[in-house]
A = this chain, B = another copy of it.
Amino acid sequence: MKKQESLDKRNLTELEGTVLGLIGVKGPCTPYVIRKEFKESPTLYWNGSAGTIYPIIERLEQQKLISHVSTKDDLRGGKLYILTKIGKRTLKAWLYQPTSPLVIGTPPDALRNRVELLAFLAPKVRKNFLDEVVLELENQLQVFVRDCEEAQENNLFTFFSARGSLLHAQARLDWIREVISTLDKGIEN
């Protein structure tokens, strides 16, 4: 009853590509390890729930992008997955998309949505909201600073990723401060 006509023609989704990439850079690993990676990483967006990861691993195997080596003796250790030749080629193609709007385009941002609609709140409430946001962002920034320090000791590219989150958080903070000061000036007039 599974629906999968022309699976090989489909492009990888962002999450599928990331899973494929994790198998690629981490070497042979089990679905469970992939899940842990998602859960523990502060920069990887998805939560790596079982209901997502296992079906994706299945799909990738059916598309011959990954294959597993059986581990009969060890009931505890799960199936170890590795990239196939096609998998390596596909991953390289998926990674190298410097002009794709999905990669280059500005991601969604729930805070930006709120700011766009802030006209609906009374000036005082607005001010309170923005002040609280600044406090939250300052705390978050500290967390990312620590993440960067930790990541620096491990993988260089994990560090880059953490650094990206940090710079984004800093940019958001600068932005909200700018909004606050602009609104404050407006009130004076």
A binding-site residues for B, Cβ under 8 Å: 14, 17-18, 21-22, 24-25, 43-46, 91-92, 95-100, 102-121, 125, 129-130, 132-133, 136-137, 140, 144, 155-158, 160-161, 163-165, 167-172, 174-175, 178-179, 182, 186
Residue of B44, B112, B113, B164 touching A175 (CB-CB under 8 A): B164
A44 to chain B, nearest CB (A): 7
Given that A17-B113, A116-B157, A164-B112 are contacting pairs, would A104 and B121 also be in contact in the complex, using a CB cutoff of 8 Å? no
- How far, in whole Å, are A106 and B45 apart by their CA atoms in the complex? 9
In the complex, which of the residues A110, A125, A140, A170 has the most CB atoms of chain B within 10 Å of its own CB atom?
A110
Cα(A106)–Cα(B43), bound, Å: 8
Residues in B whose Cβ lies below 8 Å from that of A164: 109, 111-112, 115, 172, 175
Contact B160 A106 (CB under 8 A): no
Q: How many copies does the complex hold?
A: 2
Return chain B residues, CB-CB under 8 Å to A172.
164, 167-168
| Residues of chain B contacted by A105 (CB below 8 angstroms) | 110, 140
Closest 9 CB pairs of A and B: A21-B117, A98-B132, A45-B108, A171-B171, A116-B161, A104-B136, A24-B120, A98-B133, A112-B164
Asked, given contacts A18-B113, A107-B108, whether A120 binds B96 with beta carbons under 8 Å apart, the answer is no
Cβ-defined partner of A103 (8 Å) among B92, B110, B168 = B110
**Contact between B104 and A140, CB atoms less than 8 A apart:** yes
CA distance A120 to B20 in the complex (A): 11
Q: Are B157 and A115 in contact (CB under 8 A)?
A: yes
